[in-house]
Amino acid sequence: MNEEVGMKCTGVLDKEELRRRFAGREALLQQVVEIACRTFPEMLEKIRREMNEGDLAAVRRDGHTFEGQLKTFYALAATERLKQLRSAVAIGDGGEARVLLSLLEEDVRRLRDHLWKLSAQLEVRT
């Protein structure tokens, strides 16, 4: 199944793969990019709040959803970081999880910057 996901690259965002998968569907890509830019900070805030409240079940659930969203954009770095965070949460290592969450926030900030640029390029074309 991993070969379908096709995340062989490293880095913030595999634009080439994203463009290939959305070939001819720029309007749809722009729509999902805009949703991502709007909802990613909300999701991170939610996960941080759940961690502070010690609600690990909620962190696992939202972490799972967030991983699916990141994979949609072939965001390898953030996806890997989130997997590490979920593992830390699974073994109950709160200190490690907090560090990883801060790093994830940084990864997602960079990802959003790339997505905004991509959105601007798509807007020019469509």
Partner 1 sequence: MQVLVIEDDEITRVMLCGLLEEWGYQVKSAASGAVAWQLLQRHDAPRLVLLDWELPELDGIDLCSRVRREENGHRFYLIMLTVRENTRDLVEALEAGADDFLAKPCVPEVLRARIGVGERFLGLQDELEYRKKFEGVLEMAGAVCHELNQPLQGVLSGIEIVQSEIGEDDPLRESVDLVLQGTKRMILITRKLMHLSRYKSIDYVSDGCRIVDIDASVGSDY
Residues near partner 1 (CB under 8 A) are 1-2, 4-6, 21, 25, 28, 31-32, 35-36, 39, 61, 64-65, 67-69, 71-72, 74
Shortest approach of partner 1 to residue 25 CB, angstroms? 7
> Which two tokens mark 98?
């907090």
- Closer to partner 1 by Cβ: residue 1 or 91: 1
The length of the chain is: 126
Shortest approach of partner 1 to residue 14 CB, angstroms? 11
- Within 10 angstroms of residue 113's Cβ, the number of other Cβ atoms is 13
Shortest approach of partner 1 to residue 76 CB, angstroms? 12
Return the residue matching tokens 């799972």: 64
- Closer to partner 1 by Cβ: residue 17 or 96: 17
Shortest approach of partner 1 to residue 95 CB, angstroms? 26
Contact status, residue 118 vs residue 16, Cβ threshold 8 Å: no
- Closer to partner 1 by Cβ: residue 38 or 102: 38
- Closer to partner 1 by Cβ: residue 31 or 52: 31
CA distance 115 to 33: 6
CA distance 9 to 19: 14
